[in-house]
Amino acid sequence: MSSSRSVRKLEVVSPVPADIDIANSVEPFHISEIAKDLNLSPNHYDLYGKYKAKVLLSVLDELESSDNGYYVVVGGITPTPLGEGKSTTTVGLCQALGAYLDRKVVTCLRQPSQGPTFGIKGGAAGGGYSQVIPMDEFNLHLTGDIHAITAANNLLAAAIDTRIFHESTQSDKALFNRLCPPNKEGKRKFSDIMFRRLKKLDITKTQPEDLTPEEVKKFARLDIDPNSITWRRVMDVNDRFLRKITVGQGPEEKGMVRETGFDISVASEIMAVLALTTSLADMRGRLGKMVIGNSKAGEPITADDLGVGGALTVLMKDAINPTLMQTLEGTPVLVHAGPFANIAHGNSSIVADKIALKLVGPQGFVVTEAGFGADIGTEKFMNIKCRYSDLRPQCAVIVATIRALKMHGGGPEVVAGKPLDHAYLNENVPLVEAGCVNLARHIINTKAYGVNVVVAVNKFSTDTEAEMNAVMNAAMAAGDLMLVSDMDTFSFITFPCIRRVLEGLYSHTNDQKYVDLGVAVQRACASGIQQLKYLYPLDISIKEKIEAIAKSYGASGVEYTEQAEKQIEMYTKQGFSGLPICMAKTQYSFSHNAAEKGAPSGFILPIRDVRASIGAGFIYPLVGTMSTMPGLPTRPCFYEIDLDTATGKVIGLS
């Protein structure tokens, strides 16, 4: 990378230490050095300690006329519960591009939730010698964005119940008088946010005293139907006992008991808004348009109707700026947003990607990660994120493991926290060959978007050459279906695993195969910018869009419950049918059944319910039962996490 700063040389040891020990063994560069390497001046960012900084959105305005770099998305095959190493691949690829191939590069990642950090999966900083550092700061609090989302989400939840309470105890006139109280001069006036509701109601009057009694009632009484409320409270901890609660049991609430619950903070629509917004003004508009439920007459009630859209924006004004960090080898990282990949679209933010593309400039690279398998993360990246960002990727990486392919070929169940079965630790080519149907479908689906594909196999020490050859042959065959053997735009790359899943083999980006991965991505990007092809147009019906996605899964049809039919009819009537679709589906199968491995086909996809995130800008059908509040296992990760009181360093993170 062009810089006066020398590349950090890592001291690689064997056996590979714990991720946190590797992270703690490296003294990060001061974040101002990373910023300088990107040509950012101190006016372009706010420091959050020595190793983090918030990059200001003003950078986008200053660089508006600059050309973008290459845009790369990293997805994966359908994963095991252990994960297949997408974050590690993303970071390792960027270290190869930046530290060894002398290209300007920025890694764009989601911010981890404390749920998996303290729960079962551990953090999401990458692993081994391909990590974002400081690892503990990355996984714990960072710059407070998730806390801001939690505060904003719960302010809106409080506003909903409070409004129902006050409307139940006051007449129209009393309610209006309290909403528009006289000032010291005895004059009444509407606050700025109230004009948004007046406009929605087609009331053009600007003075409170000019409203008729009918207009007073329309304006002041939201008449929220408690049974229609979809907005729940959130917290950034796995707490299964808050999945369903009752509120309003205090004596002062006069018996206004209502059943609701908590989601984890990253499942909040506000998180999805943060990830999909393109500017501060756009975020203000999206937050205000969030629908929390309906009136008893069936009209959607928004955050702005409740008068809280502006306050939500104030709580989120710093969170909209992405956080600058660094990899172990000193390449820059932008960490921003972390929407749930099941309920929401599972990608980091549009603004981080846009800033990064301007900062790296022509011939530079921005590598962004899409959550879970490509059927979820990459599909939503293309059809939702790229629609709102108007950005076009040149390359998609699909990460696979022999372990996952064996599982899809009929191997025993893989369970997090339990030892791997004998089949995963010893050569079994037939299992691998059988499981390659999963990889093949992901390749074909991804190629259909018009982007070039690179397959990266995350290789463990127990994987054999014969197993690797089986994957290569299957990947090549799937690529040939779309490319007619055009090897300039399809590459098969393997690289050693650097997560501590198995003891043994270790590596870092100095390994030639990592550099090969970077070269393959460069070739894929330089081979020609393709026209992005969406899976569906926006002007077709909600059902037609759902069915287009279901077809890509391998489904032969879609079945809707009575509730789903009712919701589709309501959202169409309310004018929301033009939004993209964000399927809420298990990440462990192409189908709705997590136990169905490989590439199932001919099944009927059941749509249990259909909901909407209007502020974020998508409709999300629920395929089966989806939990938005994870639970803690018997032995959570927090058993290992502690503080070395002598050094002040965090220990035990993984």
pLDDT computed for residue 636 by the predictor: 72
Is residue 37 a contact partner of residue 29, using CB atoms and an 8 Å limit? no
Q: Measured between alpha carbons, how far is 645 from 131 in angstroms, rounded to an integer?
A: 24
Q: Give the residue, 264 or 7, on which the prediction is more confident.
A: 264
pLDDT computed for residue 493 by the predictor: 54
Task: Compute, in degrees rounded to 10, the torsion defined by CA atoms 167, 173, 176, 177.
Answer: -120
Give the pLDDT confidence of 550-574 residue by residue, as tens digits: 999 999 999 999 999 999 999 999 9
Residue 177, classified by CB atoms within 10 Å of its CB into exposed (0-12), middle (13-18) or buried (19+), is middle
As a whole number, mean pLDDT of residues 25-44 equals 95
Q: Is 651 helix (H, G, I), strand (E, B) or coil?
A: strand
Please report, for residues 308, 446, 565, 591, the alpha-carbon distance to residue 558 in angstroms, rounded to integers and kept in the order given.
38, 22, 12, 11
Report the candidate in 577, 601, 578 with the shortest Cα–Cα distance to residue 591.
Answer: 601
Range with the largest mean pLDDT of 122-136, 531-545, 626-640: 531-545
Q: Give the residue, 542 or 24, on which the prediction is more confident.
A: 542
- Whether pTM > 0.85 for this model: the answer is yes
| Helices marked H in 392-534 | 402-408, 422-425, 429-447, 465-483, 512-526
**CA contacts within 13 A on the Cβ side of 249:** 5
> For residue 331, how far is the Cα from the chain centroid?
22
Q: Which domains does the chain have, with CATH numbers?
A: 19-143+318-526 (3.40.50.300), 146-315 (3.30.1510.10), 542-622 (3.10.410.10)
Is residue 395 a contact partner of residue 70, using CB atoms and an 8 Å limit? yes
Average pLDDT, the chain: 88
Give the pLDDT confidence of 193-215 residue by residue, as tens digits: 999 999 999 999 999 999 999 99
Backbone phi and psi for residue 381, each to the nearest 5 degrees, phi listed first: -55, -50
Give the pLDDT confidence of 141-160 residue by residue, as tens digits: 899 999 999 999 999 999 99
As a whole number, mean pLDDT of residues 535-544 equals 97
Structure tokens at 25: 């063994």
My answer on whether omega of the bond before 134 falls inside 30° of 0, hence cis, is: yes
- Give residue 460's identity as a one-letter amino acid code: F
Please report, for residues 72, 256, 315, 372, 380, the alpha-carbon distance to residue 523 in angstroms, rounded to integers and kept in the order given.
12, 63, 43, 25, 25
As a whole number, mean pLDDT of residues 463-474 equals 89
Helices and strands in the chain: count of H runs, count of E runs: 23, 24
Give the pLDDT confidence of 303-336 residue by residue, as tens digits: 999 999 999 999 999 999 999 999 999 999 999 9
Q: Which helix (H) or strand (E) holds 389?
A: helix 386-389
Structure tokens at 128: 């081994």
Q: Is 83 helix (H, G, I), strand (E, B) or coil?
A: coil
According to DSSP, the β-strands at 649-651 and 126-127 are unpaired
Structure tokens at 168: 């139940």
Residue 27, classified by CB atoms within 10 Å of its CB into exposed (0-12), middle (13-18) or buried (19+), is exposed
Percent of the chain with pLDDT over 70: 91
Question: Which residues have C-beta within 8 Å of that of residue 259, sequence separation ≥ 6?
Answer: 244, 245, 246
Q: Is 53 helix (H, G, I), strand (E, B) or coil?
A: strand
Give the pLDDT confidence of 87-118 residue by residue, as tens digits: 889 999 999 999 889 999 999 999 988 767 67
